Amino acid sequence: MEKTYISFTEEMKKDYTVLVPNMLPMHFTLVCKVFRNFGIRAELLTTEGQEIKDTGLKYVHNDTCYPAILVIGQFIHALQSGKYDPHKTALILFQTGGGCRASNYINLLRKALEKAGFPYVPVISMSLAGLEDHPGFRLSVPMLHRLMYAVLYGDLLMLLRNQCRPYEIKKGESEALALEWTDRLAKEMDVGKRISYRKVKETYRQIIADFNRIPRAEVQKTRVGVVGEIFVKYSPLANNNLEDFLVKEGAEVTVPGLTDFCLYCIYNYLLDTKLQGRNKKVYPLYRVAYRFLIGKQNDLISAIEEISEFDPPSPFEHTVSLVQGYIGLGTKMGEGWLLTAEMLELADKGIKNIVCTQPFGCLPNHICGKGMMRPIKERNPDVNIVAIDYDAGATAVNQENRIKLMLANHSD
């Protein structure tokens, strides 16, 4: 087939700035550092506000998925800002290879770039499925190795910050420590340094010990879990700073980590072989990757349990087992069965108050999130779940009022 996109070439790699959309600030700061260490001049976009939505709506149909409007709006807003030379700028989008958001935005983005007068700007597809060819951007094994640790470190920092922040005596101390460690870890990602797993596990313990030393008040807070479509669940831009709002309302926030989503994607490849006979040639490779990442997650959980009283994430294999009798594992469009599993995981951990974030009109989320609320609550009557729609036309006031109502009727 004739190639219909502009490849990011080795020549471009020398002097192009690659803009990265901001889904998880700490995780993606580390991801950008890994890219830079491999010669990619990556820069994380941190812009926010109504102008991002307005820019997205100008170049994308308003019926398009909300995360697409935001990501495309943030990219075009950056290109129009004058901060970057559009002729020396590339964009990167993460694609899962599935049939939902993360695989279809890229064509919408290219159409929007053409409409905005930037048809020459390359868009890099970052995908394990190898959906496109970009000679200047290759996912090598050493890069993937470091990206894995960026995800694990990011999950640990997010978990510890969220468990300290509502109780800290000195306001802002948890966030400051998380940012400090993000900077320190970024320096450890240097491609010239060999990553010692023994050193990684020591670093886990140092991070945990540092957060454990934060003075915290002995008070009881309402624990609230956040699940949903991956971008809206994590991105402060997309969910109107949901975590900040919940903390101000007196809640302790729990957000499942990105490691689970990575494992979910790998696990689905294994399921395709069992259910449909697909991917037989690469099945052994994915099986090894799955066991490898499972082991890394379990080591992180063990480090938390051994030296602190922080609540660790649930092992992925336990999370998978929770969906039995609720939803089939073949339901894997978008966040699929993982969304149901994360709600059950939170309930299993004693977190009975759950905010299910979803882009308005997102069919997979309405089925696997909102659609599963009734069967979950029928078998777990003490679980309190509220589904919140996010859209370019929705107001934060309405969303926050619905969450306040949930908190007013919270489960202990």
Q: Do 118 and 253 fall within a single domain?
A: no
To the nearest whole number, what is the mean pLDDT of the chain?
90
Q: Do 17 and 123 fall within a single domain?
A: yes
Element containing residue 252 per DSSP (H, E): strand 251-254
CA dihedral sign, ordered 391, 367, 365, 318: positive
Element containing residue 228 per DSSP (H, E): strand 222-228
Percent share of the chain, pLDDT over 70: 95
Q: Do 345 and 233 fall within a single domain?
A: yes
Mean pLDDT of 209-234: 94
Q: Nearest Cα to 310, choosing from 364, 252, 264, 396?
A: 252
Q: Do 110 and 247 fall within a single domain?
A: no
Interhelix angle 283-307/141-164, nearest 10 degrees: 30
Choose between 1 and 216: higher pLDDT.
216
Residue environment code for 355-367, b if the CB has 16+ CB neighbours within 10 A, otherwise e: bbbbbbebebbbb
Mean pLDDT of 1-25: 87
pLDDT at 100: 62
In a domain, 265, yes or no: no
Interhelix angle 283-307/197-212, nearest 10 degrees: 40
pLDDT at 63: 76
Residue 60 gets the label, from left (phi > 0), alpha (psi -120 to 50) or beta, of beta
Please give the Cα distance from 270 to 180 (Å, whole number): 38
In a domain, 305, yes or no: no
- pLDDT above 70 for 267: yes
Mean pLDDT of 34-42: 92
Structure tokens at 288: 């090894």
**Do 335 and 366 touch, CB atoms closer than 8 A?**
no
**Do 102 and 94 touch, CB atoms closer than 8 A?**
yes
User: What is the per-residue pLDDT across 79-123, written as a single tens digit (0 to 9) for each?
Assistant: 999 999 999 999 998 876 566 655 668 888 999 999 999 999 999
In a domain, 286, yes or no: no
Please give the Cα distance from 124 to 19 (Å, whole number): 10
Q: Exposure of 235 by Cβ count < 10 A (0-12 exposed, 13-18 middle, 19+ buried)?
A: buried
- pLDDT above 80 for 128: no
Q: Do 241 and 377 fall within a single domain?
A: yes
Q: Do 111 and 248 fall within a single domain?
A: no
pLDDT at 101: 55
**Cα–Cα distances in angstroms (integers) from residue 183 to residues 18, 26, 132, 148, 399, in the given order:** 20, 9, 32, 17, 33
Q: Do 232 and 358 fall within a single domain?
A: yes
User: What is the per-residue pLDDT across 167-194, written as a single tens digit (0 to 9) for each?
Assistant: 999 999 999 999 999 989 988 877 666 7
pLDDT at 236: 93
Listed range (27-31, 269-273, 381-385) with the worst mean pLDDT: 269-273
Structure tokens at 350: 């004693």
Whole domain around residue 358: which residue ranges?
221-257+328-412
Q: Exposure of 119 by Cβ count < 10 A (0-12 exposed, 13-18 middle, 19+ buried)?
A: exposed
pLDDT at 103: 61
User: What is the per-residue pLDDT across 303-323, written as a single tens digit (0 to 9) for each?
Assistant: 999 999 999 999 999 999 999
Q: What is the CATH number of the domain that holds 405?
A: 3.40.50.11900
Domain boundary among 89, 116, 135: 135
- pLDDT above 60 for 195: yes
pLDDT at 196: 86
In a domain, 82, yes or no: yes
In a domain, 101, yes or no: yes
- Number of folded domains in the chain? 2
Q: 377 CB contacts (<8 Å, ≥6 apart)?
A: 383, 385
Q: Do 236 and 131 fall within a single domain?
A: no
Catalogue the E-assigned strands of 13-106.
17-20, 41-44, 89-94
Q: What is the CATH number of the domain that holds 35?
A: 3.40.50
Domain boundary among 135, 165, 195: 135
In a domain, 340, yes or no: yes
pLDDT at 1: 41
Q: Nearest Cα to 207, choosing from 155, 156, 149, 145?
A: 156
User: What is the per-residue pLDDT across 359-412, written as a single tens digit (0 to 9) for each?
Assistant: 887 878 888 888 999 999 999 999 999 999 998 888 888 898 999 988 887 666
In a domain, 203, yes or no: no
Domain boundary among 112, 135, 158: 135
Q: Do 232 and 366 fall within a single domain?
A: yes
Return the bridge partners of 223, or none: 252
In a domain, 264, yes or no: no
pLDDT at 331: 87
Q: Do 248 and 384 fall within a single domain?
A: yes
